[in-house]
Structure 1
Amino acid sequence: MTALFPFDNSYARLPGRFFARIAPTPVEAPRLVRLNRTLASDLGLDPARLESPEGLEILAGRRVPEGAEPIATAYAGHQFGQFVPQLGDGRAILLGEVVGRDGRRDIQLKGAGPTPFSRRGDGRAALGPVLREYLVSEAMHALGIPTTRALAAVTTGEQVIRETVLPGAVLTRVASSHIRVGSFQFFAARGDVEGLRALADHAIARHDPAAADAENPYRALLEGVIRRQAELVARWLSVGFIHGVMNTDNMSIAGETIDYGPCAFLDTYDPATAFSSIDRHGRYAYGNQPRIALWNLTRLAEALLPLLSDDETRAVAEAEAALSGFAAIFEAAYHGGLNRKLGLATTRDGDASLAGDLLKAMAENEADFTLTFRRLGDAVPEPGSGCEPAAVEAVRSLFIDPTAYDRWAERWHNRLAEEPGTAAERKRMMRTANPAFIPRNHRVEAMIEAAVERQDYAPFETLLTVLSRPYDDQPDFAHYAEAPEGGGRGYRTFCGT
Structure 2
Amino acid sequence: MAQPAFDSAYARLPDRFFARVTPTPVKAPRLIRVNAPLAAELGIDPDWLASEEGVAVLAGNRVPDTATPIATAYAGHQFGGFVPQLGDGRAILLGEVIDRGGTRRDVQLKGAGPTPYSRRGDGRAALGPVLREYLVSEAMQALGIPTTRALAAVTTGERVVRETMLPGAVLTRVASSHIRVGTFQFFASRGDVEGVRTLADHVIARHYPHAAEAEHPHRALLEAVVQAQAELVARWLLVGFVHGVMNTDNTSVAGETIDYGPCAFLDEYDPQAVFSSIDLYRRYAYGNQPAIAQWNLTRLAECLLPLLGDDADAAAEDAVQVLEAFGPAFERAYQGGLRRKLGLSTERPGDAALAEELLQAMAANLADFTLTFRGLSEAAADEEADAHVRSLFNDPGAYDAWAPRWRHRLGEEPGDAAARREAMLAVNPAFIPRNHRIEAVIRAAVDRNDFAPFEELLTVLARPFDSQPAFARYMEPPAAHERVHQTFCGT
After TM superposition, the score normalised by the length of structure 2 is: 0.99
Counterpart Cα distance in 2 of 1:318 and 1:81: 24
> How far is 1:101 from its partner?
2.5
Q: Which residue of 2 aligns with 1:24?
A: 23
CA contact (8 A) 2:436 2:484 kept: no
Aligned residues: 490
- The unaligned stretches of length 5 or more in structure 2 are none
Counterpart Cα distance in 2 of 1:122 and 1:417: 60
Counterpart Cα distance in 1 of 2:484 and 2:203: 41
Q: SS at the partner of 1:433?
A: coil
One-letter identity of the residue aligned with 1:24: P
1:81-100 map, 5 Å: 81-100=80-99
Counterpart Cα distance in 1 of 2:178 and 2:448: 34
**CA 1:149–1:490 in 2, change beyond 3 Å: closer, same or farther?**
closer
CA contact (8 A) 2:187 2:193 kept: yes
Q: SS at the partner of 2:322?
A: helix
CA contact (8 A) 1:72 1:90 kept: yes
> How far is 1:213 from its partner?
1.1
Counterpart check, 1:408 vs 2:402: yes
Listed one character per residue, the Cα deviations across residues 401-435 of structure 1 (whole Å, up to 9, x for unaligned) are: 11110111000000000000000111011101100
Listed one character per residue, the Cα deviations across residues 132-151 of structure 1 (whole Å, up to 9, x for unaligned) are: 00010000000000000000
Q: SS at the partner of 2:173?
A: strand
1:179-198 map, 5 Å: 179-198=179-198
Counterpart Cα distance in 2 of 1:116 and 1:251: 22
Q: Which residue of 2 aligns with 1:33?
A: 32
Q: For the aligned residues, what is the CA RMSD?
A: 1.0
Counterpart Cα distance in 2 of 1:146 and 1:433: 15
Counterpart Cα distance in 2 of 1:303 and 1:432: 40
Listed one character per residue, the Cα deviations across residues 62-86 of structure 1 (whole Å, up to 9, x for unaligned) are: 0001110000000000000000000
Counterpart check, 1:438 vs 2:437: no
> How far is 1:380 from its partner?
1.1
Q: SS at the partner of 2:426?
A: helix
1:150-165 map, 5 Å: 150-165=150-165
One-letter identity of the residue aligned with 1:287: G
One-letter identity of the residue aligned with 2:306: P
Stretches (4+) displaced over 6 A: none
Counterpart Cα distance in 2 of 1:372 and 1:142: 20
Counterpart Cα distance in 2 of 1:362 and 1:377: 16
One-letter identity of the residue aligned with 2:177: S
Counterpart check, 1:239 vs 2:239: yes
Q: SS at the partner of 1:115?
A: coil
**CA 1:487–1:335 in 2, change beyond 3 Å: closer, same or farther?**
farther
Q: Which residue of 2 aligns with 1:456?
A: 450
**CA 1:111–1:490 in 2, change beyond 3 Å: closer, same or farther?**
closer
- The unaligned stretches of length 5 or more in structure 1 are 382-386
Q: Which residue of 1 aligns with 2:110?
A: 110
Counterpart Cα distance in 2 of 1:406 and 1:489: 28
> How far is 1:379 from its partner?
0.5
Counterpart check, 1:76 vs 2:70: no
Counterpart Cα distance in 2 of 1:285 and 1:10: 36
Q: Which residue of 2 aligns with 1:62?
A: 61
CA contact (8 A) 2:436 2:483 kept: no
Counterpart check, 1:476 vs 2:475: no
Counterpart check, 1:423 vs 2:417: yes
> How far is 1:490 from its partner?
5.8
Counterpart Cα distance in 2 of 1:275 and 1:190: 34
Counterpart Cα distance in 2 of 1:122 and 1:487: 34
Q: Which residue of 1 aligns with 2:308?
A: 308
CA contact (8 A) 1:268 1:488 kept: no
Counterpart Cα distance in 1 of 2:47 and 2:398: 56
Counterpart Cα distance in 1 of 2:470 and 2:340: 27
> How far is 1:238 from its partner?
0.4
> How far is 1:254 from its partner?
0.5
Counterpart Cα distance in 2 of 1:71 and 1:250: 18
> How far is 1:388 from its partner?
3.9
After TM superposition, the score normalised by the length of structure 1 is: 0.98
Counterpart Cα distance in 2 of 1:451 and 1:155: 11
**CA 1:159–1:489 in 2, change beyond 3 Å: closer, same or farther?**
closer
> How far is 1:159 from its partner?
0.4
Counterpart Cα distance in 2 of 1:398 and 1:305: 50
> How far is 1:493 from its partner?
0.3
One-letter identity of the residue aligned with 2:468: Q
Q: SS at the partner of 1:29?
A: coil
